[in-house]
Structure 1
């Protein structure tokens, strides 16, 4: 899928920045990739039974306390979903995850959770279904995108470790 064309169809035209492959936030730190805006960490999670899935967006440097978040939400033991689940539900491989992958979840099987610390953010860094580029998605465009895909974001006070 050409995600940039789909975004343009929805009147979302964010800047696109090409760069070497970035699989993790640490990769961006090592390569000193300097871009304006809000860097994100994208965590694809599942419950203990593998029946519920969520994509959590938080700040790139936050260490999320999954046990506390699981208790807070009433989910049975949150954990990271496998590469197979990531491909099945979001259509991307590990290291390519961003909110834009929700375009592949046409059946809305994945919940979208946004950390409250992102409320004042803008120009969110998102992989356009590949980790060799970043788009800077404004807050307005992020919300327009989630509306178009049918993924209403749930804002959460995401607990940190330590």
Structure 2
């Protein structure tokens, strides 16, 4: 089953409504934003990070206009050093190519060894947007529903101030 269809099947199975916008491949957050202008929902960026020894993995979700303070994050999660994970690690852990990272990739994380962190700042937004395991579509869903999705597949979302 194609990665996108897996997302749709899971959301439908959970009775989670969503809106899909199809577009050409988005290679940057700026480009992705241009394809979805005028649609309600916070534009997110999802970063796949790891610690120095690649023994812990993190998915950090925040407003795509905000910069991540890596030093603050490492202190919040108790790591000695945090950096962007390699594209090889991304594919190994979530079977995703670079540029398509989102919480939906967790459907492919058999080890359930990725910690999820949302920036508190976006949690008051009604809707969020993510790539549904492809950068040729953007999926919008209610903020409460992304948390419902994560819980249904066995993940706990942590809300932190970044």
TM-score, length-normalised on structure 2? 0.91
Count of aligned pairs between the two proteins: 157
Deviation of the 1:41 alpha carbon:
1.0
1:33 lines up with 2:36 in the alignment: yes
Work out which of the residue numbers 88, 93, 96 in structure 2 matches 1:89: 93
Q: Deviations over 1:22-45 (max 9, x none)?
A: 12212235x453122110011100
Task: Tell me the distance in 2 between the aligned counterparts of 1:6 and 1:33.
Answer: 23
Q: Deviations over 1:123-161 (max 9, x none)?
A: 210111101111111012111101111111011111xxx
Q: Greater share of strand residues, 1 or 2?
A: 2
Deviation of the 1:106 alpha carbon:
3.1
Structure 1 residue runs of 5 or longer lacking an equivalent are none
Work out which of the residue numbers 75, 80, 84 in structure 1 matches 2:84: 80
- The residue that corresponds to 2:28 in the other structure is 24
- The residue that corresponds to 1:126 in the other structure is 130
Deviation of the 1:5 alpha carbon:
1.6
1:107 lines up with 2:111 in the alignment: yes
Deviates more, 1:129-138 or 1:63-72: 63-72
Contact 1:57–1:114 (8 Å) recurs in 2:
yes
Contact 1:49–1:76 (8 Å) recurs in 2:
no
SS in 1 for 2:42: coil
List structure 1 segments (4+ residues) > 4 angstroms apart after TM superposition: none
Task: Tell me the distance in 2 between the aligned counterparts of 1:78 and 1:99.
Answer: 19
Task: Tell me the distance in 1 between the aligned counterparts of 2:52 and 2:89.
Answer: 13
Task: Tell me the distance in 1 between the aligned counterparts of 2:64 and 2:156.
Answer: 22
Q: CA RMSD in A?
A: 1.3
Task: Tell me the distance in 2 between the aligned counterparts of 1:37 and 1:68.
Answer: 26
Deviates more, 1:110-119 or 1:32-41: 32-41
